[in-house]
Amino acid sequence: MRYSTRFSDAVHILAYIAVFSDTDSVTSDILAASIETNPTNVRKIMGLLRQHGLIRTVNGRPKPTLSRPVEDITLYDVFTSVQGDTRLIEVDEHTNPRCIIGANIQQALEKQYARLQEAAENEMRHVTLADILRSISSSAVNANPDDKELVKAFL
């Protein structure tokens, strides 16, 4: 089964922009190297983040900025920006209608999946980019104390 990493990549991009906001070199190539994807993918995600008001960019200038403080950007904001109304889990629409399970599982799962979707979205509304950056910063400093200066604003 294939799944999308767009949400994770978008959070990665926002975190990178926050940490390296004082530099003039936050390019799609640099972000792509950090994510281990291609620059085109980064530009597409950044376009969605820009359209939804999470970042500001200027063409030809490698210095994107966050549109609001990290405390005011939630995972829900990011998720809906890059995934739209995509659901976290989907019901398999291709089951055997002549089977008692296959004929009835979609309806049974749909109700439960809707409940899980709502719970996940509510949780995402309570996790901010600041929370993610604190976790990243703590891990970074534990792994390499020399990184403390770079991430001190998020500790």
Tens-place pLDDT, residues 30-48? 999 999 999 999 999 999 9
In angstroms, the CA 71 to CA 87 distance is 25
- Helical axes 100-124 vs 75-83, angle rounded to 10°: 130
Average pLDDT taken over every residue of the chain = 94
Which two three-digit tokens encode residue 2? Answer: 């294939």
DSSP secondary structure code for residue 95 in this structure: -
Taken in order of first residue, the domains within the chain and their CATH numbers are 6-87+128-154 (1.10.10.10)
CA angle 95, 4, 75 (to 5 degrees): 115
Average pLDDT score over residue span 105-131: 96
Residue 17 near residue 50, CB atoms below 8 Å: no
- How far the first Cα of the chain sits from its last, in Å, is 37
Q: What is the mean pLDDT of residues 66-82?
A: 97
Contact 65, 76 (CB under 8 A): no
101 pLDDT band, cuts 50/70/90, is very high
Q: Taking the complete model, does pTM exceed 0.85, yes or no?
A: yes
- pLDDT higher than 80, residue 139: yes
Q: Which CB contacts under 8 angstroms, 24+ apart, belong to 139-145? A: none
Secondary structure letter of residue 58 according to DSSP: E
